[in-house]
Structure 1
């Protein structure tokens, strides 16, 4: 198709105002009230012949007229019906229209007789409200503007990566548009800047960024906030009067002013801490904020406030130095201060605690107490007053070998190994409640050269004014000696209800005697085979008080008759107290265990079987010292004795009962009751130790009405009391039976 220069012809016709040519003129007027086409194509034809032209917007002569006119002389060869077509395009390139087709207007079979001029007018429908060159959506419009209210939004526009706007009209907003990958974005948040698109496609998101509005540094600056709808940074009010820190420690009451400054009041220095040696006017140090005062001369007299000092002089550095008034040293004490010059206060010196100090006027050895006193004992011992013993009566007790001390005769056997009795004094102390007198032996030194056994009716107190180490046994136990019960020193005294009861004899058999009471009640004896041969009841529990100092009690005798005597009750263990002013160390046996009950006797004619005697109870050990130390070889025992076995008899045979065992002196084992000699006799009950004693067994039958006597009940364990001012030292191998009272925990 050949294109004609219709515009030139139109201009000529317009300029010359020539009348239409004989062939006729086709005048085409295209109006564009809103959208100005980038390129306009006008085509005319009759179906066989075709002519047309492309006109870029740059050649529109009068853009403000919002229209363009194209005139063309009709060709003779054309038919009388013409087709006219006007098409707008989005671009122009070279010499023809290109780009997207915007809209098309066509009029077919337009009457155009030869020699007649025709006017054809068309108005473009495309709307470009925002003037960005792209039309809004409409019939026949390709690539419409997706937002005709904004000139920056149209097909091909640069994507701005705003979550709420599709700038290039490709259907994707912000980070979901591939054009925005790794670019900055807004995400519709005007208060955050420098966000970036992260991810690909629909999963991409606008992330990161920094706040648009930042707070001006400073304590008195108003708070800055961001208006979420506009992104505008808005300052709040200045916090006038709000507390702040000016950074100057010499200012007080710091506060914010209307001009955004932090100011305060000048700090005033008070009277100096030591006005005697410091000038009254001080200055504030702006670095530390402390008030500094110039010192007065060193010749200025002053009083330093220490009541133990007299007046002195300033040292030239602002300090008053008084004159000391020393306190004289005092035995067992350290200086704790004073209430006035030359009036000193003392307290006990911990470094001197329990160390020897001077003797009193009577020559009594003494030690330092916790209160700073020089005393005979650093505690109050039981059952005697150590402060009333004259120093001349405190001697030395030394033995060279094993021996026995009798508290009744005050004798030592053998004499050769006994002590020099002139080297110490034995004092007789009365006790209340009918209890026997106690023998008090006060000594500076207790040195045993061998085992010491103590017998007799009186208990013993060894009072040591110093240290004591016991490397030999001290025994005050009840025993069976030559077939007879023998108590330990102070045993079997003032027992009353705590002594075991005798068994009854009836028609050939006797009941067993009851065991004696100690730390617990004793145990009952057994019945004789005859139901009227009743057992002896157990002795009641002895009192737990340390005063009076009492030993254990005897078991009850078994029921018997002249030809078949009941077994004697076992003897009670003794009472032994050792009180030491300083350290007591025990490495051997201290025992006040009870003795075993004797077995019952039997005869054939007349046929008779007596009951066994009850076991004796353990006595009492009292050990007290500034510190008690038990080595692994120490053995402290107050065990009860076992009951004697009942005898057995028939018309042609008889068997005496076996004696019960004495309470163990060196272990916590229970003493066995007598058994094994009289088949029908009841066995004796075991003595108490850590556990309670056992009752005696009943006698059984031998033949017809003849049978055995009841066994004696076991004796109860006694008591062991340990008292230590400082913590006890108890080695794991030590034995304490039964468990002690007084605060020292057994190993």
Structure 2
């Protein structure tokens, strides 16, 4: 190894006047830490071709110790490259002038340092190894020993003892206190004197020193006193800052108002109880400190008072602040009621409906015998009746009705024909019932018994109601069905758009009239042949309910001119109601069927007239506590058939036939007028049962005969049955159309 000259030999170099060698030289300055002078330093140089030289400098040969640096001169050989790489190493020992032990630190030049002929080059290096805290653990060294993580504190270094209560890393393993693996579950100290039972929980970096309990300081009872908190440094409970005076608080006394803090205490103004006037208590009260309510002392039980009940006497205070008296006896004023309460503030006694008396006999205010209703009223009927109020009927007005043969009653004149067939006609009373604006008044006949010795026919403009205050047995036919030229009672009234519209006449042919409507709509008529007159429209439906009591509507007239007389529209069926207080038994016919339309006439000089529309069925209302229909019962409200149109040609003509009347004892549709004259428009069949009415046929042309349009069929009316108890309807009973209201045939 090439000999290196120590620059420390200044005197030698000075004698040589530090003459620069011909090949040039390199000055190396090695600085080291004051806290850790190396035991030995090795300096090595090398060129790019592998020439290498070095020297070891033990600590005892260091020259510039005050400046903590070592200076070495390197003389370049002639055969070396002009740039040298430099490496400086430090060791912890030296032996016989050589570096030994562990290499503590190695530093090297980043780039080769140029060494020029006859020139000095300079390279400085700072060794970083230090032991500032003197704990013999180095910081800044490059060897493989763990570095000192805090060289300012001698108690912090690799391998240092670290307790489970530590708050910083003492052994340089990046874990602190409870994070150490040996501390899990071990006792520790979190540094807070207000905690007890501190112990380590968690592993690794999740480890924490947690307390088992924490000191809970007792708090003052008043919100106005300073709250106490535990001081972590002493573990003692010490008071903090009290709320300022005027702060809202609660002294837990409901008899004080406006509680505020004052000098650490919560106080409020005493509640003042108002003066009261009470029958059995003193006027001045005191506040109850438990509830906060004002209490007034009861007066003695000898004090007179008034309990505001007119049915008690004598009234005295009971010693507990209440006024009480002895109630008087109560008697229910109505037969269908019972006593609900002996005495109330509103009246002497209070009553309620007695369920045990429902449907039991009672005497109405009119003196007539009735039954108790669900609302407590004594009604002559055990159910709410339709279209009239039975309680408004005087007992003296209720007579028996007995006929000895077929009779007719006129609701307009209130007369019977023949009069001799009604035994007590002069004693019968009639009540005119107002049904409302736009609806014809009805005639009510109140009777105690119904004894018919023959058929009963009802005519006139007003509907008829038979109110039977007992049992009723319909064992004779009742006709309200316009089977003659006179309409049934209550028919054709206020029909408006429910009446069939008339046909129109054009080109010597008339259109047929429309059928009347009631329970359903009627049907339109037929048209005259070849641009003949237009037909009339069918009437609209009027509904099927029992209120108001209204009859059927007429069919529209066919169109005619001159001698070609139009077929007249058939009349509608009437309106009839039986309301029986007890049992209503029907074993014969009750019919409100409509009349068939008339046939149109044909005249060679005038043309062919249209047929009239059929009248619609009317309305039957039967209601009773018990409705019974036998096998022979027949309830009908069928529509009439439309009339056939006439026919005509220049020198001949033919007349149409009328439509059939609505059947009064079957559900077969009434046939429309029809003959052998095939050019005449046939009338449409009337409605019956569930079969709707039919449209009139248009006129045709046969052998030169041109026909008018047939009339439209009339619609069915409505049958309403209502029974408080279940209906008893035999399988042979006939109802056309089907009834509404709840009673159904078996």
Q: TM-score, normalised by structure 2?
A: 0.58
CA distance in 1, matches of 2:184, 2:677: 114
Other-structure match for 2:618: 619
Which shows bigger deviation, 333-342 or 710-719? 333-342
Other-structure match for 1:46: none
CA shift for structure 1 position 223: 6.1
Alignment length (residue pairs): 622
CA shift for structure 1 position 573: 0.7
CA shift for structure 1 position 441: 1.0
Please give the per-residue CA displacement for 1:581-613, whole angstroms capped at 9, x wherever unaligned.
x7898999976342343666899x999987443
**Aligned with residue 430 of structure 2, among 427, 433, 436:** 427
CA RMSD for the aligned pairs? Answer: 7.1
Other-structure match for 1:321: 324
Change (3 A) 1:184 1:347: same
Change (3 A) 1:585 1:198: farther
CA distance in 1, matches of 2:186, 2:453: 106
Other-structure match for 1:512: 512
Other-structure match for 1:7: none
1:104 and 2:92 aligned? yes
CA distance in 2, matches of 1:524, 1:125: 125
CA distance in 2, matches of 1:631, 1:181: 100
Q: How does 1:59-74 map to 2 (within 5 A)?
A: none
CA distance in 1, matches of 2:585, 2:161: 105
CA shift for structure 1 position 372: 8.3
Q: How does 1:613-692 map to 2 (within 5 A)?
A: 613-620=612-619, 640-646=639-645, 659=659, 662=662, 680-685=679-684, 687=686
CA distance in 1, matches of 2:545, 2:147: 117
Change (3 A) 1:709 1:606: same
SS at match of 2:447: strand
Other-structure match for 2:397: 393
SS at match of 1:407: strand
Other-structure match for 2:444: 440
Change (3 A) 1:269 1:535: closer
1:526 and 2:529 aligned? no
Change (3 A) 1:520 1:193: farther
Q: How does 1:60-459 map to 2 (within 5 A)?
A: 104=92, 106=94, 109=97, 127=131, 129=133, 133=135, 135=137, 137-139=139-141, 142-149=145-152, 153-157=156-160, 159=162, 165-173=168-176, 177-181=180-184, 204=206, 216-217=218-219, 220=223, 237-239=241-243, 276=280, 284=288, 286=290, 295-325=298-328, 329-331=332-334, 344=348, 358-360=363-365, 363-364=367-368, 390-397=394-401, 406-408=408-410, 410=416, 421=424, 425-427=428-430, 429=432, 439-444=443-448, 454-457=457-460, 459=462
Please give the per-residue CA displacement for 1:45-86, whole angstroms capped at 9, x wherever unaligned.
xxxxxxxxxxxxxxxxxxxxxxxxxxxxxxxxxxxx99989x
CA distance in 1, matches of 2:163, 2:661: 112
SS at match of 2:325: strand
Change (3 A) 1:687 1:214: farther
CA distance in 1, matches of 2:718, 2:445: 22
C-alpha contact (below 8 Å) 1:476/1:576 kept by paired residues: no
Change (3 A) 1:316 1:548: closer
CA distance in 1, matches of 2:191, 2:736: 90
Change (3 A) 1:316 1:609: same
CA distance in 1, matches of 2:164, 2:586: 97
CA distance in 2, matches of 1:382, 1:347: 29
C-alpha contact (below 8 Å) 1:404/1:455 kept by paired residues: no
C-alpha contact (below 8 Å) 1:477/1:591 kept by paired residues: yes
Other-structure match for 2:101: none
Change (3 A) 1:83 1:152: closer
C-alpha contact (below 8 Å) 1:83/1:108 kept by paired residues: no
C-alpha contact (below 8 Å) 1:478/1:485 kept by paired residues: no
SS at match of 2:697: coil
C-alpha contact (below 8 Å) 1:270/1:282 kept by paired residues: no
Change (3 A) 1:285 1:496: closer
CA shift for structure 1 position 712: 0.8
CA distance in 2, matches of 1:607, 1:83: 160
CA distance in 1, matches of 2:426, 2:156: 128
CA shift for structure 1 position 195: 8.8
Other-structure match for 1:64: none
SS at match of 1:104: strand
CA shift for structure 1 position 461: 3.2
Change (3 A) 1:632 1:245: farther
CA shift for structure 1 position 310: 4.3
CA shift for structure 1 position 577: 4.2
C-alpha contact (below 8 Å) 1:505/1:560 kept by paired residues: yes
Other-structure match for 1:113: none
SS at match of 1:462: strand
Other-structure match for 2:698: 698
SS at match of 2:573: coil
Which shows bigger deviation, 332-341 or 638-647? 332-341
1:574 and 2:574 aligned? yes
Change (3 A) 1:393 1:140: closer
CA distance in 1, matches of 2:718, 2:430: 25
C-alpha contact (below 8 Å) 1:364/1:391 kept by paired residues: yes
CA distance in 2, matches of 1:371, 1:358: 15
CA distance in 2, matches of 1:671, 1:265: 98
Change (3 A) 1:566 1:327: same
Change (3 A) 1:730 1:325: same
CA distance in 1, matches of 2:495, 2:514: 14
Q: TM-score, normalised by structure 1?
A: 0.57
CA distance in 1, matches of 2:161, 2:427: 123
CA shift for structure 1 position 615: 1.0
C-alpha contact (below 8 Å) 2:721/2:743 kept by paired residues: no
Other-structure match for 1:714: 713
Which shows bigger deviation, 404-413 or 225-234? 225-234
CA shift for structure 1 position 337: 10
**Structure 1: where are the runs of 5+ without partners?**
1-31, 36-41, 44-80, 86-101, 111-123
CA shift for structure 1 position 406: 1.9
CA shift for structure 1 position 177: 4.6
CA distance in 2, matches of 1:256, 1:635: 96
Change (3 A) 1:413 1:168: farther
CA distance in 2, matches of 1:161, 1:731: 101
CA distance in 2, matches of 1:440, 1:145: 125
SS at match of 2:396: helix
Change (3 A) 1:697 1:413: farther
CA distance in 1, matches of 2:231, 2:585: 91
SS at match of 1:392: helix
CA shift for structure 1 position 410: 2.6
CA distance in 2, matches of 1:718, 1:83: 139
CA distance in 2, matches of 1:674, 1:376: 48
SS at match of 2:315: strand
